[in-house]
Structure 1
């Protein structure tokens, strides 16, 4: 990308606040909500997301927003691009027939679901979320989409916590693009 794009990223990064010891002691929480509380920053982030998708994922046919903050970005991005918007939610939160995928967490397991009729074989999807930490939910969503026959072109996140090495846990062949990186 070019210098103008990098300047937009730097401006966005300057708007993100951090909160020590949230949600529990020892965690430094990077808060995208602090950035998008201003209309001008919402427009800035939207323009960055659209530019990124157009340049890196020009063949995408659907944006898949992960529960819950990925939803914030998936609808407006899909609308701007004129493509579908598909939510991936926790078990029991979507009506109709769903496809479920169980995955392991550090302490237990969870289940993600997508509406069965939202996916067609070969659908070219881009997963979007606010943050990648360990990569567990993105990996599970990718596996769920592949189970449905979709093609996962990549994953786009606003923030990457590099010290947790989450991108190393994403299945091979699924590129991860993060706008902002923190240690």
Structure 2
């Protein structure tokens, strides 16, 4: 299936000069969504990336991470924005283009030595994925890889990530 044909391009969003890759058109297509999750799981199995847990970043990482965890027989852990989780948390602050942001996971969500795959819809500069990797490693987990639906290759986000396998289903 040609997944690119299910991704809508929106020029000048969120600001002039940016070409936004909109996944909502993929999500609304039942066959495309099913194929995406099945193909993602197949890639993980072929690369022997079967984690104990999938960590998905807020919020689109939840959309793909949860069904992928189901297909692989893994648990799913949400990495949320600061203040969204009710219990004690591990957190990490990271740099954005203009300012900082932070991500958190419950302290009882991951255990040292757990095998973790980090999943999100898109990798651009690698900032959020890299911060999530640092958080997972700070907890003492074994980062086995990353999985993304879309990779924007020109932004070279891979070079900001640890040297582990990376799955990208679509590249621009």
8 Å Cα contact 1:13-1:180 kept in structure 2 = yes
Map of 1:164 onto structure 2: 155
Structure 1: any 5+ residue segments left out of the alignment?
Answer: 1-7
Q: Does 1:20 align with 2:11?
A: yes
Partner SS for 2:71: helix
* Alignment partner, residue 107 of structure 1: 98
1:144 aligns with 2:135: yes
The alignment's TM-score, normalised by the length of structure 1, stands at: 0.90
Q: TM-score, normalised by structure 2?
A: 0.96
Partners of 1:57 and 1:153 within 8 A in 2 = no
Deviation at 1:59, TM superposition (A): 3.6
CA distance in 2, matches of 1:130, 1:58: 18
C-alpha RMSD of matched pairs (Å):
1.1
Deviation at 1:62?
A: 0.8
Inter-partner Cα distance in structure 1 for 2:147 and 2:67 = 14
> 1:7-66 deviations in whole A, cap 9, x for unaligned?
x3xx21221111100111100001111112111111111111110111123441111111
Conserved 8 A contact 2:7-2:22: yes
- From 160, 164, 167, the equivalent of 1:174 is 164
Alpha-carbon distance in structure 1 between the residues aligned to 2:88 and 2:97: 29
SS in structure 2 at match of 1:118? coil
